[in-house]
């Protein structure tokens, strides 16, 4: 199949998924409402929290996650380092322990390999993708990443990075940004999100407000940003 055929197939699959999603929306909403009405205040509050999970730590970590799921009724997990097979096993274990299905998430900016020990699941970093002019290719990549995430039981990807890489002293964005041009960054980020969403994965454009123009790594300190709004 040539490149044009791949794009056409992707478009057809996207439309089919959208039609299916509309048909399922009413049933899903009714289910959510029915479950919500049976929940206590503590359970509702617990659903607002996502806790950290690893698949490369020991039994004590697994026991801690299970305890928090049962005690605090947490709404979701965010997986970090580990391996695909172990994460799949733990996801099934954690979902079984939760009375309400957990929302499972990951940072997967360049695919599952951003967190998991499997270089075969790695896609290009966003700085390289910024050089691609036909953003339909970015959509296809997002779709492929989304399908891999779903196969592992992950419904949310905290990606793409939508920061504009305009500060050479920035210690944390670097090749995670699509580039220096705001319009190109937006165009590529939207395409990436469309691909993930077409695969059935929720997206989260980050970071806000403008982490691309800071000289501080927010993992270790609190950046101060001065933003000028056009009147």
Give dist(CA 12, CA 5) in Å, integer: 11
Question: Please, which residues bridge with residue 104 across strands?
Answer: 77
Q: What is the predicted pLDDT for the residue at 222?
A: 87
Q: What is the predicted pLDDT for the residue at 26?
A: 81
pTM above 0.75, yes or no: yes
Residue 131 tokens read as 């050089």
Give dist(CA 188, CA 21) in Å, integer: 24
Asked if residues 98 and 50 have their Cβ atoms less than 8 Å apart, the reply is: no
Give dist(CA 24, CA 29) in Å, integer: 9
Q: What is the predicted pLDDT for the residue at 100?
A: 94
Q: Which helix (H) or strand (E) holds 79?
A: strand 76-79
Asked if residues 105 and 74 have their Cβ atoms less than 8 Å apart, the reply is: no
> Which stretches of the chain score pLDDT less than 70?
1-24, 208-209, 227-231
Which domains are seen in the chain, by residue range?
A: 42-207 (3.20.20.300)
Q: What is the predicted pLDDT for the residue at 214?
A: 86
Q: What is the predicted pLDDT for the residue at 101?
A: 95
Residue 16 tokens read as 């089919």
Q: What is the predicted pLDDT for the residue at 229?
A: 67
Q: What is the predicted pLDDT for the residue at 230?
A: 61
Q: What is the predicted pLDDT for the residue at 198?
A: 96
Q: What is the predicted pLDDT for the residue at 93?
A: 98
Q: How many CB atoms lie within 10 A of CB 105?
A: 21
Q: What is the predicted pLDDT for the residue at 120?
A: 81
Give dist(CA 101, CA 114) in Å, integer: 25
Q: What is the predicted pLDDT for the residue at 4?
A: 66
Give dist(CA 140, CA 123) in Å, integer: 12
């Amino acid at each position: 199949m040539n490149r044009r055929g791949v794009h056409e197939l992707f478009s057809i699959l996207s439309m089919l998924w959208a039609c299916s999603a509309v048909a399922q929306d009413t049933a899903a909403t009714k289910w959510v409402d029915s479950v919500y009405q049976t929940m206590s205040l503590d359970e509702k509050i617990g659903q607002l929290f996502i806790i950290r999970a690893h698949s490369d730590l020991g039994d004590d970590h697994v026991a801690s996650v299970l305890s928090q799921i049962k005690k605090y009724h947490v709404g979701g997990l965010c997986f970090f380092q580990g391996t695909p097979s172990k994460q799949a096993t733990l996801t099934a274990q954690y979902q079984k322990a939760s009375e309400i299905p957990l929302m499972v998430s990951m940072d997967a900016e360049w695919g599952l390999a951003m967190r998991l020990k499997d270089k075969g699941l790695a896609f290009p970093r966003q700085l390289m993708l910024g050089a691609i002019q036909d953003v339909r290719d970015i959509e296809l990549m997002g779709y492929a990443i989304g399908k891999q995430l779903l196969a592992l039981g992950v419904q949310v990807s905290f990606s793409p990075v939508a920061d504009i890489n305009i500060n050479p002293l920035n210690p944390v964005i670097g090749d995670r940004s699509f580039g220096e041009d705001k319009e190109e960054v937006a165009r590529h980020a939207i395409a990436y999100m469309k691909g993930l969403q077409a695969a059935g994965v929720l997206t989260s454009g980050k970071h806000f407000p403008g982490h691309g123009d800071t000289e501080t790594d927010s993992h270790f300190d609190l950046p101060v940003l001065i933003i000028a709004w056009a009147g």
